[in-house]
Amino acid sequence: MTKLTIVKIGGNVIENEKDLRQFLVQFSKIQGDKILVHGGGKSATSFAKKLGLSPKLVDGRRITDKPNLDIAIMTYAGLLNKNIVAGLQQNSCNAIGLTGADANTIESEKRPVKTIDYGFVGDVKKVNSNNINALISAGFTPVFCALTHNGSGQLLNTNADTIASEIAIAMSSDYEVELMYCFELQGVLTDINDLNSVINQLNAKSYSEFVEQGVISDGMLPKLENCFNALNKGVSNIKIGNTNMISSDSVRCTNIKL
Contact 252, 240 (CB under 8 A): no
| Dist CA 206 CA 155 (whole Å) | 39
Rounded Cα gap, residues 99 and 57, in angstroms: 24
Contacting residues toward a second copy, per CB under 8 A: 50-51, 70, 73-79, 81-83, 85-87, 89-90, 94-99, 101-104, 131, 134-135, 137-140, 147, 149, 151-155
**C-beta of 131 vs 197, nearer to a second copy:** 131
Distance in Å, CB of 162 to a second copy, minimum: 19
Shortest Cβ 113–a second copy spacing (Å): 22
Q: Cβ–Cβ contacts within 10 Å for residue 86, how many?
A: 12
Q: In angstroms, what is the minimal distance from the CB of 21 to a second copy?
A: 8
13 vs 155, which CB is nearer to a second copy? Answer: 155
Residue among 18 and 205 whose Cβ is closer to a second copy: 18
**For residues 85 and 127, which CB has a smaller minimum distance to a second copy in the complex?**
85
Say which amino acid occupies 118: Y
CA 86, CA 21: separation in Å to the nearest integer? 11
Least spacing, CB of residue 240 vs a second copy, in Å: 29
Least spacing, CB of residue 151 vs a second copy, in Å: 6
> What does the alpha-carbon distance between residue 187 and residue 197 come to, in Å, rounded to a whole number?
9
**Distance of alpha carbon 145 from alpha carbon 35, whole angstroms:** 11
CB-nearer residue toward a second copy: 19 or 70: 70
- Nearest in space to 96 (alpha carbons), one of 152, 151, 136, 49: 136
